[in-house]
Amino acid sequence: IKPCNLTGWWKNDLGSKMHVFNVDNNGTFSGEYHTAVSSAKSPIQPSPLVGSQHLDKDEQDTFGFTVNWKKFSDSTAVFVGQCFNGADGKEVLHTSWLLREKVDSETDDWKATRIGRNTFTRMS
Ligand code: BTN
């Protein structure tokens, strides 16, 4: 059984692209996220991500990562997900995310967090 290998380029259902660099033997990884969409006013830029993956002896590891959009937005996103091999045998990542927006005051805290889901497939 081959393990879930996050290393490489992935594309999601929004058209966003994610480049995961090397995953080390603790499961820690870093990469760069190229979002296709944004709620920020500044132009989109590639953004650093850091994450952690289970290294179990199967193809269905869980993982999580944080994206810091610091170059163009003061928001932060976290993703959690799991690797699968789809019915067609292609690798797929099913994720859920929280996106925290920076608000000006504590009274706006209630509206600061968005939630969603994304599915990623390997590009190359
Ligand atoms: C921002 O809007 O402040 C920064 C960009 C956020 C992009 C979000 S993160 C969750 C969702 N999935 C994506 O691929 N892009 C959006």
- Any ligand 1 atom below 6 A from CB of 83: no
pLDDT at residue number 59: 84
Q: So what's the ipTM on this one? A: 0.99
- Any ligand 1 atom below 6 A from CB of 65: no
Nearest CA to ligand 1 atom 16: 37
82-119 pLDDT tens trace? 999 877 889 999 999 999 999 999 999 999 999 999 99
pLDDT above 90: residue 34: yes
Measured distance CA(119)–CA(95) in Å, rounded: 6
Other beta carbons within 10 Å of 100: 13
- Nearest-CA neighbor of 99 among 115, 85, 87? 115
Dist. CA 41 → ligand 1 center (Å): 13
To test the pocket of ligand 1, the residue of 12, 13, 20, 38 to mutate (highest count of ligand atoms within 8 Å of its CB) is 38
SS3 3: coil
What would the mean pLDDT of 49-54 be, rounded to a whole number?
A: 97
Q: Residue 116 carries which side chain, given as an amino acid letter?
A: G
pLDDT at residue number 1: 61
Q: What is the pTM of this model?
A: 0.96
SS3 49: strand
Average pLDDT, the chain: 95
Number of C-alpha atoms within 13 angstroms, CB side, residue 40? 20
Write the DSSP string, 51-116: EEE---SSS--EEEEEEE-TTT-S-EEEEEEEEEE-TTS-EEEEEEEEEEPP-SSGGGGGGSEEEE
Ligand 1 atom with minimal separation from the 15 CA: 14
pLDDT above 90: residue 22: yes
pLDDT above 70: residue 69: yes
pLDDT above 90: residue 37: yes
